């Protein structure tokens, strides 16, 4: 396990906000030399703390402005069913998040689509791939907070 220090946490905080930040600016923000900062970023990547660097896109500008949260109750609780469900979910690019949960609902899926009609097509494709006991969806009316930043307040440094 890689042990983080305050410099690593500062680097992670800045990279979560803007992964395209130049190394010169990053090193100045975290009070390290350019070379020391670069080495730490490389270590964070090789240790698997930084999984990958991505661009965040505006879903509205890409005709995927409607977000749906889909609640699924499994038809069976078996290894085969779970495998088939995972494969079905992986095959649908509109599903951008999938989570097995505790409580009354077995899975929560997050999907991005242009509108309710497009959601219905995703729903039809999903139910044709795997048998489910119940499927329901909630559509996001207002996005109050959405971030990809992992809270770093729990990290010991």
The total number of structural domains that make up the chain: 2
Q: Is residue 147 part of a domain?
A: no
Q: Which domain holds residue 36?
A: 6-46
Q: Is residue 116 part of a domain?
A: yes
The whole-number pLDDT of residue 156 equals 81
Same domain, 106 and 35: no
Q: Is residue 128 part of a domain?
A: yes
Residue 1 has pLDDT above 80, yes or no: no
Mean of the pLDDT values across residues 133-148?
96
User: Smallest Cα–Cα separation from 49: which of 11, 17, 2, 14?
Assistant: 2
Same domain, 75 and 10: no
- pLDDT one-digit tens code per residue, 103-132: 999 999 999 999 999 999 999 999 999 999
CA atoms within 13 A on the CB side of 134: 7
Q: What pTM was computed for the model?
A: 0.89
The whole-number pLDDT of residue 2 equals 80
Same domain, 38 and 66: no
The whole-number pLDDT of residue 89 equals 98
Mean of the pLDDT values across residues 133-137?
97
CATH of the domain at 112: 3.30.70.920
Classified as helix, coil or strand, 108 is strand
Backbone phi and psi for residue 30, each to the nearest 5 degrees, phi listed first: -100, 5
Same domain, 30 and 99: no
- pLDDT one-digit tens code per residue, 59-84: 999 999 999 999 999 999 999 999 99
Contact 122, 72 (CB under 8 A): no
Same domain, 71 and 41: no
- pLDDT one-digit tens code per residue, 6-62: 999 999 999 999 999 999 999 999 999 999 999 999 999 999 999 999 999 999 999
Same domain, 64 and 111: yes
Q: In which band, very low, low, confident or very high, does the pLDDT at 157 lie, cut at 50, 70 and 90? A: confident
Q: Is residue 87 part of a domain?
A: yes
Same domain, 63 and 135: yes
Quickly list H helices, 60-115: 79-90
Same domain, 37 and 69: no
Same domain, 127 and 84: yes
Same domain, 13 and 34: yes
Burial-class residue 11 by CB neighbours within 10 Å (0-12, 13-18, 19+).
Answer: buried
Q: Is residue 152 part of a domain?
A: no
């Amino acid at each position: 396990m890689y042990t983080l220090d305050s410099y690593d946490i500062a680097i992670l905080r800045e990279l979560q906000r803007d992964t395209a930040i130049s190394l010169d600016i990053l090193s100045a923000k975290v009070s390290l030399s350019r070379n020391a900062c670069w080495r730490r970023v490389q270590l964070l990547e090789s240790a698997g703390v930084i999984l990958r660097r991505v661009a965040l896109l505006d879903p509205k500008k890409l005709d995927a402005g409607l977000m749906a949260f889909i609640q699924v109750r499994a038809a069976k609780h078996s290894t085969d069913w779970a495998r088939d469900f995972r494969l079905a979910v992986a095959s649908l690019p509109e599903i951008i998040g999938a989570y097995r949960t505790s409580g009354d609902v077995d899975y929560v899926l997050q999907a991005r689509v242009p509108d309710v009609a497009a959601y219905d097509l995703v729903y039809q494709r999903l139910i044709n791939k795997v048998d489910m006991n119940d499927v329901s969806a909630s559509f996001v009316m207002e996005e109050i907070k959405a971030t990809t930043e992992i809270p770093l307040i729990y990290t010991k440094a």
